[in-house]
Structure 1
Amino acid sequence: MLTHFDRLHARLRDPLLTVLTLLLSVLLFVIGPMQAAGAVTGQHFGYFFGLVLLPAVFLYSRNFLVAAPIAVAIGLVVAAALMDVDWSPRTDLYLDSSAWLIAGLVLSIVVARAVFWPGRITYHRVVGAVLLYLIIGLTFVAFYGFVALAVPNAFTNISTHHGDFAIAGNLIYFSFATLTTTGYGDIAPLHPYARSLANIEAIIGQIYPATLLARLVTLELAHERGV
C-alpha cells in the first residue's frame, strides 16, 4: 500500500522537475550575472544555489545514492556561504566548485536516464531535456572553476579574487557561450586544461541537440506503434 509520502512524491514529481528547471535558469542567467556585477553577494548566491537543490533532494529522496550526494552538495554550499574567508582564503571557492560538480554529475546521470529512457514523450520529459542541457553547462562551470582557482591566468579577463567568487558569473557566461559554440572571444581559455575542457564542452554542445531530437522522435514513433 502506498504511504502518504509516496502519493505526495508521485503527485509532485513532474511539477517539481519544472520548478527545478526554472530555479536553475534563474540561478544561471539572473543571480549569476547579478553576483558578478556586485549586486548580489557571494553568500546570497550560495544560499540560492542551495535552494535550487532542495527540489532535487525531494525528487530523488527514494534513491539514497542520488539524494545523499545532493544533500552533501547543499551542505558544502551552506558551509562556503558561512565561512570566514579572511580566516580561510579561497577555501569557500573550492567548496562551491565541489558542490557544483557533485550536483552536476549526479543530476546529469539521473536526468539523462529519465529523458532517454524508453516510453511516451511528455511535456515533462521535454522539460527534463532542457534541464539536462543546463546541468551540463553547470557541470563545466565547476570544472572551469577548479582550473581558474588552481592555475593563475588560465582564462583571459578572469581573475580569482580572494574571498570573492565573482568569477562564477563570468564562468557561467563562458560555459554557455562554449556549450552553444557562440564564442564571442572576450573570455578565452589559455591553459591547456582549460582549452581541453572547452573543446569537450563544445563537442557536447554540438552533439546533444541532434542526439536528443533523434532519440525523442524514435521514442515517440515506438510508442505510437506500441513497441
Structure 2
Amino acid sequence: MSEISHKERNSYLYLLIALVTFFVVNPFIEGIAMQRFVFGILFTSVLVFAVYAIIHRPRLTIFMVILVAIDVSSYWAHAIFEVHWALAIIKNCATIILFWVVTISLLIHILREKRITLSTLYGAISIYLLMGLSWGFLYNLIEIANASAFAFQGMERMTETIREQSFIYYSFVTLTTLGYGDITPVSEVAKTFSWLEAIVGQIYVTVLIAHFVGVHVAQSVKNN
C-alpha cells in the first residue's frame, strides 16, 4: 500500500482541526442569541471536511455529497423555520450514516498503511472523535423517538441545541468510560447502545495501539 498522499494528509488535518474547533467553541456559545446558528456553522464545517477526507474515493463521492446535502438542508430548514420534527429525524439519520461511512473508510485506509506518520495519527484521532459524535447523534435520535429514554439531572428545560450538545457530552463520557451519572439511560434501547459504545471505544483503542506497535516493529526490523 502506498503512503498517504499530500492531498489526503491535508484532508485528515483539516478534518481534525474542524472537529477540535467544534468541540472547543461549543461550550462558549451556550446561551447566546445566535447559538443555534453558530452551532450549525461548526456542524456544517465538520460535515464538509469529513467528506473531503474521503473524497479521493470515487465510489463514495456521489453518495456522500447526497448525504451532506440532505443533512445540511434538513438541519437549516428545521433550525430556521422550525418545521416538522421529521426533519430532525432525517438530519440525525443522515449524520449518523455519514459519520460512520467516513469513520469506516478512514479506519480501513489507516490499517492498511505500512508506516506511522503524522497523517495516520491525524486520521486515528479524527476517527475516535467521529465515533463519539456519531453516537451522540444516535442518542439524540433515540430521545426524539422516546422522550423518556434518558434521565437528566438538573436539566429540566433544554433547547434542541443544548440537548444535542448534552448527548455529545454523554457520548464521550460513555466512550471514555468516565460515567459521571448526570445523564442516565433509562430505556432498554438507550442502555444497549450505551454499553455497546463503551465496548467499541475500548476495542478501537486496543486494536489501534496493537496496530501501531506492529507497524513500528516492522519498520524497525526493515530499517535494520
TM-score (norm: length of structure 1)? 0.83
Q: Distance in 2 between matches of 1:59 and 1:195?
A: 32
1:155–1:194 CA contact under 8 A, matched in 2: yes
Q: 2:149 aligns with which of 147, 154, 159?
A: 154
Q: Distance in 1 between matches of 2:212 and 2:66?
A: 33
C-alpha displacement at 1:144, in angstroms?
Answer: 0.8
Question: 1:55-70 residue pairs with structure 2 within 5 A?
Answer: 55-70=49-64
C-alpha displacement at 1:142, in angstroms?
Answer: 2.2
Partner of 1:139 in structure 2? 134
1:65-112 deviation line (CA, Å, top 9, x unaligned): 322333233212321243156663323321331232122111111110
2:54–2:106 CA contact under 8 A, matched in 1: no
Q: Does 1:219 align with 2:215?
A: yes
Structure 1 29/22 Cα, relative in aligned 2: closer, same or farther at 3 Å? same
Q: Distance in 2 between matches of 1:103 and 1:160?
A: 30
C-alpha displacement at 1:146, in angstroms?
Answer: 1.4
Note the residue ranges of structure 1 that are not aligned, 5 or more in a row.
Answer: 1-8
- The worse-fitting range, judged by mean Cα deviation, of 45-54 and 106-115 is 45-54
Partner of 2:100 in structure 1? 105
C-alpha displacement at 1:197, in angstroms?
Answer: 0.4
Q: Distance in 2 between matches of 1:120 and 1:45?
A: 36
Q: Distance in 2 between matches of 1:167 and 1:159?
A: 11
Q: Distance in 2 between matches of 1:38 and 1:89?
A: 24
Partner of 2:174 in structure 1? 178
Q: Distance in 2 between matches of 1:210 and 1:226?
A: 24
Structure 1 194/131 Cα, relative in aligned 2: closer, same or farther at 3 Å? same
Q: 2:189 aligns with which of 188, 193, 198?
A: 193
Note the residue ranges of structure 2 that are not aligned, 5 or more in a row.
Answer: none
- The worse-fitting range, judged by mean Cα deviation, of 188-197 and 75-84 is 75-84
1:120–1:223 CA contact under 8 A, matched in 2: yes
Q: Does 1:75 align with 2:72?
A: no
2:21–2:42 CA contact under 8 A, matched in 1: no
Q: Aligned Cα RMSD in Å?
A: 2.5
Structure 1 211/190 Cα, relative in aligned 2: closer, same or farther at 3 Å? same
Partner of 1:52 in structure 2? 46
Partner of 2:31 in structure 1? 38
Give, as a single letter, the amino acid of the residue that structure 1 aligns with 2:217.
Answer: L
Q: Distance in 2 between matches of 1:135 and 1:71?
A: 18
Corresponding pairs, count? 216
Hey, which bits of structure 1, 4+ residues long, moved more than 6 A?
Answer: 158-162
Percent identity over paired residues: 26
1:47–1:81 CA contact under 8 A, matched in 2: no
TM-score (norm: length of structure 2)? 0.84
